[in-house]
Amino acid sequence: MSRRTMLVAVMGLLVLGTGCPDVYGKGGKLDQAMAKDIKDMQEERRRELEERREDMDDDEGPHCPEGKVEIRNCTSYPCKVECQ
């Protein structure tokens, strides 16, 4: 391989291999976009859990008449309630 070919190959690798630090570097555009996506997913999950908690709180009222015992089977959602 001639020197000129090697020089062109090395220069090409340097230009293409280093990338743009403002895009690919730490704190660059890709890091910021990923942080925003993670924050959005966490917020969405928090809202889902909050809604589910509210649904479960609504179900906390008395289900059985007086003199009967409430038995909950919470192996699946929503919990199954039986009166005995």
Residues 45-77 pLDDT 10s: 999 988 888 776 655 555 677 777 777 777 777
Confidence (pTM):
0.47
d(CA 60, CA 50): 16
- Sequence spans of domains, the chain: 24-83
Distances 1 to 7, 15, 17, 28, 36 between C-alpha atoms, Å: 10, 21, 21, 38, 47
pLDDT grade for 2, boundaries at 50, 70 and 90: confident
Residue 6 clears pLDDT 80, i.e. is over it: yes
Task: Answer with the residue of higher pLDDT: 13 or 43.
Answer: 43
d(CA 83, CA 30): 56
| In the block, residue with structure tokens 């919470």 | 74
Q: Which residues pair with 54 in a beta bridge?
A: none
Share of the chain above pLDDT 90, in %: 27
